[in-house]
Amino acid sequence: MLTNLTDKQKVNWVRIIAIIPVLVLMLYAPKLWITTKVFPVIPLFDWLPIPTDPFDYILAGFFFLSQVLYIFQNKRWQGWLVILLYLYLAFVDQNRLQPYFYQSFLTILAIEIFPRKTDYRKILYAIILIFFATYFWSGIQKLNEAFYIQWLSALNKHFSFLPQWFLVAFTYAVPWLEATMGVLLLFNKTRKIAILFILSMHGIITFLLFYLGYGYNVVPWNIQNMLSVVIIFWTLKTTNVLDFFIQFFNKQKLVILVFTMVLPLANNLTGFYDNLLSFHFFTADLHYYNVFINEELEEKLPEDIQNFYRFKNSKAYLKMNEWAHHENKVLFYPEERIIQFMDVYLRSFADNPNEKGLIELVDYNQIKK
């Protein structure tokens, strides 16, 4: 039974469950992991060497096979190899920094950062911080006007048969419910209630993704979390809720606390650190852009890009999410530096890239407010 495991077995199962969705999603979105494609590769640093054909295929295949071997052999050096490969590949193309890949990366990091002779309860508590942060911060980050507007609009579209007061109340309750579930996971008396709520939430999301016919790349992540919370929390017993944060405190735990508490808090208060890396999941206030293009540049962009033109008032524009999803099977990475890179890239096809008025960047989440 997955609910009757030792700490060592729990850690091992969560490790395997973290890897399998990454493998599935690499098969689902293979273009994301190569550089020879129409959609630009966006490196974090200009000096990073970017592999080209055929080396990008070789590196992606090596990353895939390294994870397969790590499932079965479970050597510490293999775990670190997977971590370092992911870091390099994500730095080469920041669009790979999707929530599901990032959560799996943090889970493997929380396991391999400890020496192999470490008490497995210490490792388990480090992993628990990741799952607490996933639900707590995801809820907190939804406390914004854009989420309320877009969530209520979606509910009215698909569930208009329900009373309006219920849809409004549910919309405003969602962020608090999700954040609360993260907290309730930490208490013995409320843990199973939180697990059942989380299972219901992920189950409903998965059903709706298939019902609505899009977002299939998120399905493995939902299943990963459903299995992981049951394995980790169902039989877990603790003496003090603060144990997760202060017990077994060492430099390894400090690293995980930085990723799960310090950086998300900094993002929430000051905007420092990337939104998606701060558990900013489905919060509706991320910076997704439509790129309007003037007539001169419209004719000069490559045909592969022109295929994604849409028109508003006879003016061509690109929906970055639509273009990114077609090429990479994931959404455009929603940070300002990424859209500025794309601005420079698209302008580079013009006779005078510095000409004013070539491109207008429109954050469509801001438009809906």
Cα–Cα–Cα angle for 126, 4, 82, rounded to 5 degrees: 40
Structure tokens at 82: 């997977």
List, in order, residues 6 or more apart from 206 with CB less than 8 Å away. 219, 222, 223
Contact 113, 252 (CB under 8 A): yes
Question: Would the pLDDT of 366 be above 80?
Answer: no
Read off the pLDDT of residues 42-89 as tens digits, 9 standing for 90 and up: 999 999 999 999 999 999 999 999 999 999 999 999 999 999 999 999
Collapsed DSSP state (helix, strand, coil) of residue 310: strand
- Bridge partners of residue 289, in order along the sequence: 363
Average pLDDT over residues 165-176: 94
User: Which has the closest alpha carbon to 142: 173, 168, 166?
Assistant: 173
- Confidence band (pLDDT; 50, 70, 90) for 171? very high
Q: Alpha-carbon dihedral of residues 201, 326, 334, 102, nearest 10 degrees?
A: 60
**Taking a C-beta distance cutoff of 8 angstroms, is the pair 143, 174 a contact?**
no
Return phi, psi of residue 361, to 5°.
Answer: -95, 125
Sheet containing strand 309-312, edge to edge, reads: 309-312, 315-319, 289-293, 359-363
**How many helices (H) does the chain have, and how many strands (E)?**
17, 4
Q: What is the pLDDT of residues 10-54, one digit of tens each?
A: 999 999 999 999 999 999 999 999 998 889 999 999 999 999 999
Burial of 238 from C-beta contacts in 10 A (0-12 / 13-18 / 19+): middle
For residue range 106-143, list pLDDT tens digits in order: 999 999 999 989 999 999 999 999 999 999 999 999 99
Pairwise CA distance, residues 311 & 16, whole Å: 46
The one-letter amino acid at 84: L
Amino acid sitting at position 281: F
pLDDT, tens digit, 9 for 90 and up, residues 319-351: 999 999 999 999 999 999 999 999 999 999 998
Residue 365 pLDDT > 80, yes or no? no
Band of pLDDT at residue 367, cut at 50, 70 and 90: very low
Respond yes or no on whether the N-terminal peptide bond of residue 54 is cis (omega within 30° of 0).
Answer: yes
User: Which band of pLDDT confidence, cut at 50, 70 and 90, is reported for residue 159?
Assistant: confident
In tens, the pLDDT along 280-323 reads 988 888 989 999 999 889 999 999 999 999 999 889 999 999 99
Q: pTM for this structure? A: 0.92
Residue 3 — pLDDT band, cuts 50, 70, 90?
low
User: pLDDT class for 277, splitting at 50, 70, 90?
Assistant: very high
pLDDT at 247: 81
* Residue whose C-alpha is closest to residue 316's, from 331, 306, 304: 306
3-state SS class at 27: helix
Q: Using one digit for the tens of pLDDT, what is the confidence trace for 219-240?
A: 999 999 999 999 999 999 988 8
Q: Give the 3-state secondary structure percentages of the chain, helix then strand then coil, rounded to 5.
A: 65, 5, 30
pLDDT of amino acid 221: 95
